Amino acid sequence: MAGTGRGERPDLAPYAARSAQSRGRAHEEPFKDDRPAFERDRDRIIHCEAFRKLEYKTQVFLNHEGDYYRTRLTHSLEVAQISRGLARRLGLNEELAEALALAHDLGHTPFGHTGEEVLHRLASDEGGFEHNLQGLRVVTRLEERYPGFPGLNLTWEVREGIVKHASSWDRPLTEGLDEYELPLQPTLEAQLIDLADEIAYNNHDIDDGLEAGYITLDELDGVEVWRETRARVRRKFPGISGRREIYQTISHLIGRMMSDVVEATTRELTEAGVETLDDVRRAGRRLVVRSPEMERRNRELKEFLYQRLYRHPKVEAMRVKAERFLTELFHAYVDNRGLLSRVDQERAEREGLKRVVCDRIAGMTDRSCLEEYRRLFDPFQKV
- The number of angstroms, rounded, from the C-alpha of 88 to the middle of its chain's C-alpha atoms is 20
* Identity of residue 340: L
Of the candidates 155, 215, 124, 167, the residue with the CA atom closest to the CA atom of residue 17? 155
| Dihedral angle, C-alpha 56, 96, 144, 106, nearest 10 ° | -30
**Is the confidence at residue 135, as pLDDT, over 70?**
yes
What's the mean pLDDT in 288-303? 98
Which residues on adjacent β-strands are paired with residue 151?
144
**364 confidence band (pLDDT: 50, 70, 90):** very high
Task: Write down the pLDDT at residue 70.
Answer: 85
**Contact predicate 86/93, CB 8 Å:** no
d(CA 343, CA 39): 33
Complete DSSP assignment for 135-184: HHHIIIII-B-STTSSB----HHHHHHHHT---TTPPPP-TT-GGG-TTS
3-state secondary structure at position 58: strand
* Identity of residue 237: F
Task: Write down the pLDDT at residue 1.
Answer: 43
pTM score: 0.93
d(CA 86, CA 78): 12
- The ranges assigned to domains in the chain are 19-315, 316-377
* CATH for the 19-315 domain, from 1.10.3210.10, 1.10.1050.10, 1.10.510.10, 3.30.420.40: 1.10.3210.10
319-353 per-position pLDDT tens digit: 999 999 999 999 999 999 999 999 999 999 999 99
**Is the confidence at residue 65, as pLDDT, over 60?**
no
40-64 per-position pLDDT tens digit: 999 999 999 999 999 999 877 655 5
d(CA 233, CA 220): 15
d(CA 116, CA 128): 9
